Chains A and B, each alone.
Chain A
Amino acid sequence: MSYDCAVSVRVPDSLEELVTGLAADPGCELLAGGTDLMVEINFGRRRPASIMSLSRVTELKGWSEDAATGELVLGGALTYTEMLQPDLAGRLPALAQAARTVGSPQIRNAGTLGGNLATASPAGDTLPVLVALDAVVVVESADGRREVPVGDFVTGAKRTALRPHDVVHSVRVPTRRTRQEFLKVGTRNAMVIAVCSAAVVVDLDSCSVRVALGSVGPVPLRAHEAEELAGEVLDWDAGGVLAGDAHRDGALERFAGLVSAASRPIDDHRSTAAYRRHAVGVCARRALERVAA
């Protein structure tokens, strides 16, 4: 072959080898499930000269519970299929609900949490869930480890706080008593990119509600005013439930309106800004009804 289009592919066996390799070759692309990267390559949008596969880096795989802090530690290479297994899904139901909406079984077997974070698509489905769960991204590189809250990790549409030689090591999710729900709108009933999504977490430890929205802005958005309203209308003494009184519908309606107002959607070929603004409010309201019934 006369035109040079060769790509070097390395398969490091450990995190150590991975981060030193990256430090020496910061232009290198990481390959986890390849469900974003290979699409980019096929479209000619990215043509990396070198690639490092995460497939043998065991430190990034699976999930565990931090005995000291009680936090859940989700590996950077955790797959969607793993998020759907009952042991993890039982602890983080909204993450499992989001994972179930991603692609097809093949995509869920290959695609990873780290890949979703590093791609940082406005439609990345785990992002609003991680924001609503108050999760923190653990970033590893040859010069050490640092922790970045998910909200700060995603800095713009497809932009992150990752430096070229960084790896998403894991995501730490605080374990609190919560009820959580994730809803996603797409123009088909499965295997569809989000037109909008909403994650709602009722946090019984802090007596607060967190609402994060996907696909209605460049980054996942918190709906702070809606959160405050929800915090006020939930009866925390009764376990964080909505009072069944006459004001219930009015409060939910205002909640939906505040969520819509917090969104910053655009018109594109998938939908219109007006629909997204409307639909994200409907989704958040329905999510709240489910977790605070």
Chain B
Amino acid sequence: MTTVSAVSSTAVAPARVRSASLGTSRKRPDGGPKVKGEFAFSSDLWAEGALWGKVLRSPHPAARITGIDTSRARNLPGVKAVLVADDVPGNPFFGLEMKDQPVFASDVARYMGEAVAAVAADHPEVARKAAELIEVTYEPIDPLVDPERALDPVTPPMHPMGNTVRHISVRHGDAVASGDVVVEGTYEVGMQDQAFMGPESGLAIPDEDGGVDLFISTQWLHVDRDQVADCLALPPDKVRLHLAGVGGAFGAREDVSLQVHICLLALRTGRPVKMVFSREESFLGHVHRHPARMSYRHEADRDGRIVKIEAKILLDGGAYASSSTAVLANAACFAGGPYLVPNAVIDADVVRTNNPPCGAMRGFGAVQVCHAYEAQMDKLAAALGMDPVELRLRNALQPGDELLTGQALTGAAPVAEVIRRCAEAPLPPGGPADEPGSMTLPGGAGRTADPTRVRRGIGFAVGFKNLMYSEGFDDYSTARCRIEHGIVTVFSAAAEVGQGLVTLVEQIAEDVFGTDKIIVAPADTGVGSAGSTSASRQTWMSGGAVDAACRKARDSLLDLAARRHGTVAAVLEVREGRVVSFDGEIDETIEEATGGAAIEETVEFRHAPTFPLDERGQGDAHVSFAFAAHRAVVDVDLDLGLVKVVEVTTAQDVGRVLNPVQVVGQIEGGIAQGVGLAVMEEILVDQGLVRNASFTDYLIPTALDMPLVQIAALVEEPEPGAPFGAKGVGEPPTISSTAAVAAAVRAASGLALTRVPIRPEHIALAAPRQGEAGS
């Protein structure tokens, strides 16, 4: 018996009673193997007779390609295939939102690292050598690298679809409203990388049916599958994707990287093909967080109530669209912060340039604007002579308030509570270490600090963003539950990328059946789409789908058992893995209850619908929101500009905690990335050329850079409509942690510091010199 049924989240009872499993810190099934180095990542895959794939990339950010000669590469012994644009049988273009990116550049290369050709050979060294032997004739063009120039209508388009990918105007309330106090500022955010540890890698195995099986680390199997099938000119069912071990994602695995290339090579050679990016290729071969330039004007009344916000937001999307349109929507919709903004005039653009393509990264457009609006809130507090926390409390959104998109806030919105709980948490005792050169001072192991020149600063920030997909996107997740031979198997294509969804799926299924004899099947395209592991959506969407599928299968099981016993299902229940009747007359195993039959239920789960933004940027575009507050304590060496982030305290709106350890894991990891963006993480691009495509020079926080994380509160106010009342928790930790650290560095240094990451020279070459008066 197989049925597919649709379930909407509004039909799900919120906030069910906690049970034995949900709400506990159940151990992850992949935890032990990962710690012991036994977990198979996508780079560990192997198949008999496999070839090695290698991609040749453009060294130029902008160049015409006038010739590609592959003959020398083809003639190298061991080379089995060399493919260029002409070898793509289907759509030569792919892309998440617009199919604007060629599988291989053929006439123009638009960014450094763009794929031009691909090779398969019997040894990785041979593949590397063959790629070197491909002779590409480039005529370099002056790259378009300034997003302001890209926006200028007189600038020639660098792509046939034009330079502007999307423009959003938000016109909310009264455009000419004015306040008593005005603060203005211009802010910048550099290009952050997701910096996952496991490089892009996969294994494609051609099948006799003309199709291909692709084992791949990704965030969304089905959207990869559809793009691969389109480029390969194959029906989707001939392209079967299987999730391989994912070594981190953070948004960088939403786009196609090597998927099409590796499948093309496998189909061309008729052999399995494996590809693993080097670290340099990984940095060049995936999208980054959009760099942003933002100018803001806040007007408030004398009591500190925001009257109006005006903002111009410009995101550099790099060469291709990726998910730029949705990132921009977030930047525009959340431009005001989690505050009541009665009047707003916002113009937001995302443009194409010859810089590296930018797309999804944890926080997705909400991070950039948070840096700006929270700096503005501090400025406003200073202008009003008001405590910055008090100012935020005074403006905090409340349920029922209208967002600047005109959408009414209907769900849980404990904004004031996260602010209050975070602000009230104790500060770390004492001050900076007083021993010169202590490793806990700024400069760490370099022992550079002079304690008399170290100042402590405290910064506070609040942020929010949407959960799930927005703007009318048909967002759903599919799950299947099968009961056979007494074993419950759960199928979902949702990508486990390290966040712990597999643990949660087990917990959910266990709660329905009261047994831990649950098998979670490997994720593949054999079941319908689960949507992306992004937008903090999988606990809600795939958690909801799994819960609904399991409960539907349980109901079918009870029906079956009732028919066999000549009774009605209402007198039966599943308890501790057994089917029992209230009077105790019936008490049998699940296997006995099915009587040899198999039960299979498949469910498509949807959240409540959302709607597009209109031409004034108004509309019920989002389904739910999550809020968090961060307080950072930093020590700054005024003369060297070095920073030690001492502590970050947070309070987060989580709806319901389903697995406490996993929530803490998301918070700590998200804060690490937020701290990284505040003080060190940036892809440096000079005239379109990436200067630091390695972990030698793309710096991410080490243990000595990671602050103590104090979780002041996980605010549990169940979200109506959310399965279990739980909100996604993955992104909020990155949104305002950067802004809080930046604010703390400003407080310690007394400098404006409008750009993140803050570099030592921004502090040291602006601060008063040693010997001059220090505060």
Residues of A within 8 A of B (CB): 1-3, 5, 42-44, 97, 100-101, 182-195, 197, 249, 253, 256, 269-272, 274-275, 278-279, 282-283, 285-286, 289-290
Contacts of B436 in A (CB 8 A): 286, 289-290
Is B705 located at the chain interface by the 8 A CB criterion? yes
The CA of A3 and the CA of B126, in the complex, are separated in Å by: 6
B23 within 8 A of A: no
**Segment from B317-325, B726-734, B759-767 that makes contact with A:** B759-767
Residues from chain A with a CB closer than 8 A to the CB of B680 are: 187-188
Most chain A CB atoms below 10 A, which of B448, B640, B760: B448
Q: Which residues of A contact B692 (CB under 8 A)?
A: 269
**Identity of the chain B residue whose Cβ is nearest the Cβ of A198 in the assembled complex:** B448
Neighbouring A residues of B765 by C-beta, 8 Å: 274-275, 278
When the two chains form their complex, are residues A185 and B443 in contact, meaning their CB atoms are under 8 A apart? Answer: yes
Chain A residues lying within 8 Å of B764, measured Cβ to Cβ, are 275, 278-279, 282
Q: List 11 A-B contacts (CB under 8 A).
A: A3-B129, A5-B123, A185-B448, A185-B760, A188-B444, A189-B644, A190-B702, A190-B705, A278-B765, A286-B436, A286-B448
Q: Does B719 have its Cβ within 8 Å of any Cβ on chain A? A: no
User: B78 on the interface (CB 8 Å rule)?
Assistant: yes
Residues of A within 8 A of B446 (CB): 101, 183-186, 189, 192, 194, 197
Q: How far apart sit A186 and B702, CA to CA, in the bound complex (Å)?
A: 13
Interface residues of B in 181-236 (CB under 8 A from A): none
Q: Please tell me which one of the listed residues B126, B686, B705 contacts residue A188 in the complex, with CB atoms under 8 A apart.
A: B705
What residues of B have a CB within 8 angstroms of the CB of A253 in the complex? 770-771
**Interface contact A182-B443, CB-CB below 8 Å:** no
A183–B699 alpha-carbon span in the complex (Å): 20
Known contacts A100-B445, A269-B684, A286-B450; A187/B701 CB under 8 A: no
Instruction: Report the bound CA distance from A140 to B691 in whole Å.
Output: 38
Q: Kindly supply a per-residue 1/0 record for chain B positions 740-774, scoring 1 wherever the CB is within 8 Å of any chain A CB and 0 otherwise.
A: 00000000000000000001110011000011000
Chain A: minimal CB distance from B567 (Å): 66
Chain A residues lying within 8 Å of B443, measured Cβ to Cβ, are: 183, 185, 189
Do residues A188 and B699 form an inter-chain contact, with CB atoms below 8 A? yes
Closest CB-CB distance, B444 to chain A, in whole Å? 3
By a CB distance below 8 angstroms, the chain B residues around A192 are 446, 699
Known contacts A190-B445, A191-B702, A1 near B126 by CB under 8 Å: yes
**Assembled-state Cα–Cα distance A187/B639 (Å):** 14
Q: What residues of B have a CB within 8 angstroms of the CB of A286 in the complex? A: 436, 448, 450
What distance in Å separates the Cβ of B758 from its nearest Cβ neighbour in chain A? Answer: 10
Q: Tell me the B105-132 residues at the A interface (CB within 8 Å).
A: 121-123, 125-126, 128-129
B403-438 with Cβ < 8 A to chain A: 436-437
Contact A3 B125, CB 8 Å, known A189-B445, A270-B697: yes
Give Cα distance in the complex from A100 to B278, angstroms.
28
- B703 close to A (CB within 8 Å): yes
Residues of chain A contacted by B691 (CB below 8 angstroms): 269
CA gap between A3 and B770 in the complex, in Å: 61
Q: Which of B447, B641, B691 has the most CB of A within 10 A?
A: B447
B280 interface residue per 8 A CB criterion? yes
Q: Which of B121, B125, B701, B770 meets A282, CB within 8 Å?
A: B770
Docked Cα-Cα span, A2 to B280, in Å, equals: 26
B363 interfacial by beta-carbon distance below 8 Å: no
* Chain A, Cβ-Cβ closest to B699: A188
